[in-house]
Amino acid sequence: MSVKSFPLTRAQLEELAKTYPTPFYVYDEAAIRRNAQAIKKAFSVFPGYKEHFAVKALPNPYILKILESEGFGADCSSLPELLLADMSGMKTEAIMLTSNETPAKEYIKARELGAIINLDDFTHIEYVEKSLAGGLPELVSCRYNPGPLKEGNAIIGKPEEAKYGFTREQLFDGYKLLKQKGVKRFGLHTMVASNELSLDYHLETGRLLFELAVEIKNKTGIGIEFVNLGGGLGIPYKPEQEAVSWDSLASGLKKLYDEIVAPSGLKLEIHTEYGRPVTGPYGWLVARAIHSKHIYREYIALDASMADLMRPALYGAYHHITIPGKENAPLTETYDVVGSLCENNDKFAVQRKLPKICTSENTGDFVVIHDAGAHGRAMGFNYNGKLRCGELLLRSDGTIKQIRRAETVEDYFATIDLNGVKEF
């Protein structure tokens, strides 16, 4: 079982909402730091271990600075994410660019920052060579797609149907070509699942990469410097689910390393790009219940919408919901908890058992949506002209800092030439 707690009381939320009207995200700095330290401690069995936090999960420089201070790097998928990592203090090979169908300007920026470039396709070898002044960098990583050799999962799909990575044959040819073109250092990466809670699944991924790195050495003479096990580790969104133990994961991988890699003479560093399990459980979307509707079902409508958190609409994903001040109240009602978007899938919960919820524009119950600290605010959008909410950081000393303000109408129109419209 996983405990679903929230660090603020209803009274504290009422006071906070006077300055920062709902909806807003809250992140817990102390909890994120404790988790980062637990990850590093577990993986200390691997000298040179590096976590490249998946910036896509929570692209806010305040969060990235916290993680950088704990020794984490960044995994980036775009030019803005590279800039976020750099402004957060992450430098050179602490940054990894793992993108796909990548434009030249992103490779150029990665080279400028000294970041690790992780190629997604065989054809990108020539593309990057032509795009970068001076040709290919000294260190290049390649992303492997194992196809039917590895089972995927519901969110990311089957590897053989995914657009990512080299095939096995392309990988061997790719490393040979990179070596011919003067590359001296090599990395190996894969990412084959998303939100996977099976420990055995992740150990199997480790075995696959360890065996492949040894085979590459034996067949090509190329020594892989690091393997990046990717991300994909899930979190227990449902109370009845259990988190994967960092210690169990690291010790299981170490056993495989000693069995497969150590006898080969390879000196592999272990890298990861976890995002969701680093910050996911330590972020919450806080909204207020402003309307109720009584038709064929009972509805509770929030001042947030799927523009603020789209995972339930996109994947049918479960997010636990609690009502501050009513944590121990009986679950007497069955609600669909919805937003105001003109889409019928704008629902945070469907037929969810909850305590009786009071609704009002300014005095209705707060509704806390849990495990929103990754792939939450980051996936927001402006359909229907909805304005994305802000982000607050609960500091380790108990104070609150706004780390992203809520969008305004002026923000929404900022990219339009309004004077030109008047003259049009």
Class of domain 46-274 as given by CATH: alpha beta
Note the pLDDT tens digit of each residue in 1-45: 888 999 999 999 999 999 999 999 999 999 999 999 999 999 999
For residue 289, give every residue at least 6 positions away whose Cβ sits within 8 Å of its Cβ, in sequence order, or none.
300, 301, 302, 357, 358, 359, 360, 364, 365, 366, 367
Average pLDDT for 135-148: 93
Average pLDDT for 47-64: 98
For 114-198, where are the alpha helices, taking DSSP H only?
124-131, 168-180
Catalytic residue among 76, 142, 342, 389: 342
Note the pLDDT tens digit of each residue in 280-310: 999 999 999 999 999 999 999 999 999 999 9
Q: Is the pLDDT of residue 155 over 50?
A: no
Q: How crowded is the C-beta side of 15, counted as CA atoms within 13 Å?
A: 6
For 326-408, where are the alpha helices, taking DSSP H only?
none
Note the pLDDT tens digit of each residue in 178-195: 999 999 999 999 988 889
Average pLDDT for 319-335: 97
> Which residues lie across from 54 on neighbouring strands?
75
pLDDT of residue 189: 97
Residue ranges per domain, the chain? 46-274, 281-413
Note the pLDDT tens digit of each residue in 370-400: 999 999 999 999 999 999 999 999 999 999 9
DSSP string computed for 267-316: --EEEE---HHHHGGGEEEEEEEEEEEESSSEEEEES--TTT--HHHHH-
Class of domain 281-413 as given by CATH: mainly beta
Note the pLDDT tens digit of each residue in 199-219: 999 999 999 999 999 999 999
Pull the structure tokens for residue 43.
Answer: 């993986």
pLDDT of residue 204: 94
Q: Is the pLDDT of residue 265 over 80?
A: yes
Cα separation, 355 vs 348, whole angstroms: 16
Mean per-residue pLDDT of the chain: 95
pLDDT of residue 4: 95
Is 342 a residue of the active site?
A: yes
pLDDT of residue 16: 98
Cα separation, 354 vs 368, whole angstroms: 12
Radius of gyration of the chain from its Cα atoms, rounded to whole angstroms: 23
pLDDT class of 366 with cuts at 50, 70, 90: very high
Cα separation, 44 vs 39, whole angstroms: 8
Largest CA distance in the chain: 74
Q: What helix, strand, coil percent values describe the chain, rounded to 5? A: 35, 20, 40
pLDDT of residue 149: 62
pLDDT of residue 152: 54
Q: Which residues of 365-382 are buried (b: 16+ CB within 10 A; e: fewer)?
A: bbbbbbbbbbbbbebbee
Q: How crowded is the C-beta side of 84, counted as CA atoms within 13 Å?
A: 25
Distances (CA, A) of 367 to 27, 40, 409: 16, 34, 25
pLDDT of residue 150: 52
